[in-house]
Amino acid sequence: MSNPMNVSQKLIKSHLLSGEMEPGKEIGLKIDHVLQQDATGTLIMLELEAIGLGEVKAEVGVQYVDHNLLQTDFKNADDHLFLQSAAKKFGYWYSRPGNGISHAVHMSRFGVPGKSLVGSDSHSCAGGGLGMLAIGTGGLDVALAAAGKPYYVKMPKIMGVKLTGEMPDWVSAKDVILEMLRRYDVKGGRGFIIEYYGEGVKNLSTWDRHVIANMGTELGATTTVFPSDEITKQFLKLEGREEDWVALEADEGASYDAHDEINLSELVPLIAMPSSPGKVVEVREVEGKEVSQVVIGSSANPGPRDFWVVGEIVKDQVIPADVSFDINPSSRQVIQNLASEGSLAHLVQAGARFHQSGCMGCIGMGQAPATGQISLRTMPRNFPGRSGTIDDQVYLCSPETAAAAALTGKITDPRDLENTHNIKYPKYTEPDKIKINTQMLIKPEKNGADMKLNKGPNIKSIPDFDELGNAIEMPVILKMPDNISTDEILKAGTEVLPLRSNIPEISKYAFHVVDGNFYERAQASMDSHGGHIVIAGENYAQGSSREHAALAPRYLGQKAVIAKSYARIGWQNLINFGIIPFEFSDQSDYDKIDKKDLIKIENLRDSIKEMKDVVAINTTKNVEIKLKYNISERQRDLLLYGGVINFLRKEMA
């Protein structure tokens, strides 16, 4: 073969609309599927209204309700009605509240190998476990894809990870991705697609692959890709969709830009310590610490096996009274199948607390741990305060390690259960048949364009923003270290997420986790200087795709961020809402700016228009700081217009 390609290259080439497949260059991709969850979907639907969409243009569009399920007042309930009306108006499938987590349901009901997907949730990369090109991104990018526009992204490098061997007892797929995080931390995957291949892949079920692909976003990767093989075919057959299967594997002789190898046989139980998914150690290193909460579920461990194995481990046991044992089922279909095979009874008998099918504690929507207590979770993230408890002590682990902690009341290497509790490792066998549940999926309406959107009092239109001016002189009102997450920029949880469709109200919580007085200072800076600037270290805005982390600061007058580097989605969201993502040309200049310094930039619009580097003057310290911004010509135009929505309005006019 003259030009052998890996799976990632095949997926990109088959969807390439513009640009060259040269790493670092912007490419435009045709998008087949759009996935929206409710915490970000409300804004997307408002954006589609703002740009005048008639009907979704993608092959498949699905609006899920899986984040804001608690109806403690009218806000979430109103938003559910709004989303259902918007799904009818724009021609989306609608997954009703309680049906399940978007990524798990989409893989079961809609995912197709070889297709492309963008989702307004950073864990949309989970679709790569099925052989899809699935990318998490900001809501505006999803809205554009829904409207039939290309999705633009910098062409990633491809990291090939060869898997060999077979996982030993008491080790599962979560330990594979934790091993990757142990090696690469939360920013080692930036600019890469992680593609897994090798004989070891054949020893991973499709749900195992989902687990690994899902947390590729914790590595900072653009997405994760697995081949589509006979195991993929069997999964789709089990789901009643065998006709959707296509084979997709790397050509013989295909190469990668970077390479690593994992021998699955050598893995041991791993755990991520508070408060970063990258702080991974062997369970042995932290065993013995007392645990007050164990949570099973989330998009990071959504498969039937992940609940079944816990049920088998705790079978005929009773969880200690001082441990809260919480189950977040990933979908109603999973609940049905757990019930039919008896696993549900094992969990209930052991003392499990069952919650709704959805993200729940993963996004801080209930299940907050007690003050100063350790919580073990099979979830993808443990950023500070994300659980809903300010001083949380959240560890991330496999279902096996979580079950061992639930039984013993302390962090325990699950391998020890064979001696301490005489429990043999339960080996899961894929069933020949499963119950399929589609009752809570509502099909798209035809000709719904004239339908009126059902807007409750908490749903506000997206604010208007000005075009970029030619000069700014604004104060730095916040300086942050490395790896600031979107949970710290605009937190999740029961207090804040119900405000996601009300930008004026949710903006009051901008940077609240980092600095409780940010909102007041931003208001004062708007009055005195027309806006503000913030400074950050490396990997700024990692984590969630929520564009509120750009939109709320923009509403408060943020004109620019100056950082050492950015996480991909956060960087894209800043540009989409007209905030300039400056980088230090010399990273040591980070030390030359402090909070309260006044920054002056002249000829700003002219410089951006001509794609020239910018010099900022710290007038407080009387020093010049050279800034760069690595953007495309298309993104330049977005910044000049003040964001995507302004740009589209001008284009359509």
pLDDT reading at 405 higher than 60 = yes
The Cα-based distances of 218 to 30, 186, 309, 386, 496 in angstroms read 25, 6, 25, 15, 23
pLDDT digits (tens, 9 = 90+) for 203-213: 999 999 999 99
Which pLDDT score, from 0 to 100, does residue 492 have?
A: 80
pLDDT at 559: 97
Is 283 within 8 Å of 412 (Cβ atoms)? Answer: yes
Domain ranges of the chain: 7-15+25-266, 281-416, 472-652
What is the predicted pLDDT for the residue at 51? 77
Q: Is the per-residue pLDDT at 2 higher than 80? A: no
Residue whose structure tokens are 């918007």: 86
**Res. 441: pLDDT tops 70:** yes
pTM: 0.91
Burial 441-477 (b: 16+ CB within 10 A, else e): bbebbeebeeeebbbeebbeebeebeebeeebebbbb
Give the rounded distance of the alpha carbon of 348 from its chain centre: 30
pLDDT band for position 653 (cuts 50, 70, 90): low
Give the per-residue pLDDT at 652: 66
pLDDT given at position 319: 95
254-271 tens-digit pLDDT = 999 999 999 999 999 999
Q: Quote the CA–CA distance of 93 and 64 in Å, as a whole number.
A: 8
Rounded mean pLDDT of the chain? Answer: 94
Please give the pLDDT value at position 54. Answer: 80
d(CA 525, CA 237) in angstroms, rounded, equals 59
What percentage of residues in the chain have a pLDDT greater than 70? Answer: 100
> Could you say which of 3.30.565.10, 3.40.50.2300, 3.30.499.10, 3.40.50.12280 is the CATH number of the domain covering 281-416?
3.30.499.10
H or E segment to which residue 518 belongs: helix 518-529
**pLDDT of res. 45:** 92
Which three-class secondary structure state does DSSP give residue 233? helix
Q: 7-15+25-266 belongs to which homologous superfamily?
A: Aconitase, domain 3 (3.30.499.10)
Q: How far is residue 179's CA from residue 158's CA, in Å, rounded to a whole number?
A: 19
pLDDT higher than threshold 60 for residue 141: yes
What was the pLDDT predicted at 74? 87
50: nearest Cα among 648, 500, 529, 501: 648
pLDDT computed for residue 362 by the predictor:
86
The pLDDT, as a whole number, for residue 619 is 97
For residues 508-513, give the mean pLDDT.
93
Nearest to 366 by CA among 374, 376, 356: 356
Q: Flag whether pLDDT at 151 surpasses 60.
A: yes
DSSP label of 22: -
The strand ranges marked E within 380-511 are 393-397, 441-442, 472-479
pLDDT at 633: 93
- pLDDT band at residue 361 under the 50/70/90 scheme: confident
pLDDT at 1 over 60: no
Contacts of 534 (CB under 8 A, 6+ apart): 476, 477, 478, 479, 480, 511, 553, 558, 561, 562
| Residue with tokens 């039939």, as numbered in its chain | 148
Closest CA to 368 of 342, 387, 392, 349: 387
The mean pLDDT of 296-307, rounded to a whole number, is 94
From residue 461, how far is each of 449, 458, 502, 595 by CA, in Å? 19, 10, 8, 33
Same fold, 7-15+25-266 and 281-416: yes
- Which residues, in sequence order, are bridge partners of residue 16? 29
Q: Confirm or reject CATH 3.20.20.70 for domain 472-652, answering yes or no.
A: no
Structure tokens at 225: 């890709």
